[in-house]
Every structure is written in C-alpha cells, then in structure tokens.
Amino acid sequence: MNIIFMGPPAAGKGTYASLMKEEFEIPHISTGDLFRAIASKNDPLAVEIKSYIDNGLLVPDKLTIKLVIDRLGKADCKNGFILDGFPRTLNQAIELNRTLNDLGKKIDKVILLDVSFDLICKRITGRRTCENCAKVYNIYTMPSAKGDICEECGAKLYQRKDDNEESIKVRYQTYLDQTTEAVNYYKAQNILVNINGEDSTQNVFQSIKDALKGE
C-alpha cells in the first residue's frame, strides 16, 4: 500500500507511520528525517535547510519535492511506502500524484490525525531526545526514569532548538495556511480518513488499521 500521514506538528504522524511500517513491511519516509539528515552535513544545502528548521518554517516546495521523489525512486519503495510530513501543500500533492501516475502507482489512503493546539504544545515542549540512540521521551507524559539521561543507552537527553512555544505557534499556523488545500484535494478523491489523534496510542493505531482495511 501507498499511504500518507497528515496532521499538525506532534500529531503522532511519525509514531503511527513507524507502527504501520512494521505492520505492512514497507518503508516509512519522513521528510523531517530527510531534512535533519541533510542539515547535519557541512554544505550549502545543509545550511539552507537548517535555516528553515531552526526558524520553524517549511522547506520550500521545489526542494522538498525533489528530495522526496528521489527517495521514492529507491528499490525498497517498489512494493509500497508510507509518507510522513509530505505532501503539505496542494502543489506538493499534485506533483506527487503526477509522479506516481508516471510510475503507474497511486496513493491508496490518506490518514489525517486530528489533535488540538493545546495538546500539541504539551507534546512538543515536553519532548526530549537521546543524543546517541535518538529515543524520544516526554517530561509530561513519558519521562526517563533517569531524569535527563536515556534509559536505553545512558546518553544525555536534549531538547531540539525549535521545540519552544513561539516556534510551535509559527509551525501550527503555517500548517493550517498551507495544508488545508492539500487536505481538500485528497478529500475530493475520497481517500482521506480523519482519525482522532488524542485517543490512546492503542486505540488510534486500531482506528488507522480499520481505516486501511475499509472498516
């Protein structure tokens, strides 16, 4: 299956995309991961992408589309893929559709996770990530038993530079401004499913699986 996860920042797209990756044994492609991997390098493209991330802004369509399409061309996407964080704009959605048509493929289902702004703030400002193994904790809902140390590998936990309320407000408003048309685009194709992202992880995951099975 070819699946898209949509929703505001911290809606749980990455979490449920990862779970679905195990369920369907197809790659989970996160634009956030793609951007951060490039931003960690030392070249002009890294500097450009890092400037958008640090200011809570979206990477421009042209660059995002190129990176994602390059990734979809990899051999592991032959039997399907899960997109997380892309497309975010109508232009991206149309370009993705055009590219998939050229490849004889299509998007089977778009999962839209609905989460309130207040919960998003709590999820993001409380997020802490291990600098070594990348395990994610939350000081409000899932803290490490070792404080600011990772339970898994003993490395230090850190808060991402853009995980603050000011940046969250910018990211959330940008999401609303730029993603509404893409959501309506998929709704018109009758492949969009709204899921309550504020329920328990187990219930949300089950709702997603039911939606993919057409139940």
Catalytic residues: 13, 88, 127, 160, 171
How many CB atoms within 10 Å of residue 35?
Answer: 21
Q: Which residues contact 15 (CB under 8 A, 6 or more apart)?
A: 201
- In the chain, the amino acid numbered 201 is T
- Which burial class, exposed, middle or buried, applies to 44 when counting CB atoms under 10 A from its CB (0-12, 13-18, 19+)? exposed
Q: Read off the tokens for 75.
A: 């051999």
Q: Is the Cα torsion angle 117, 122, 123, 126 positive or negative in sign?
A: positive
Question: Under the phi-then-psi rule, with left for phi > 0, alpha for psi from -120 to 50, and beta for the rest, what region is 195?
Answer: beta
From residue 85, give the alpha-carbon distance in Å to each of 17, 139, 149, 183, 214: 10, 24, 29, 13, 23
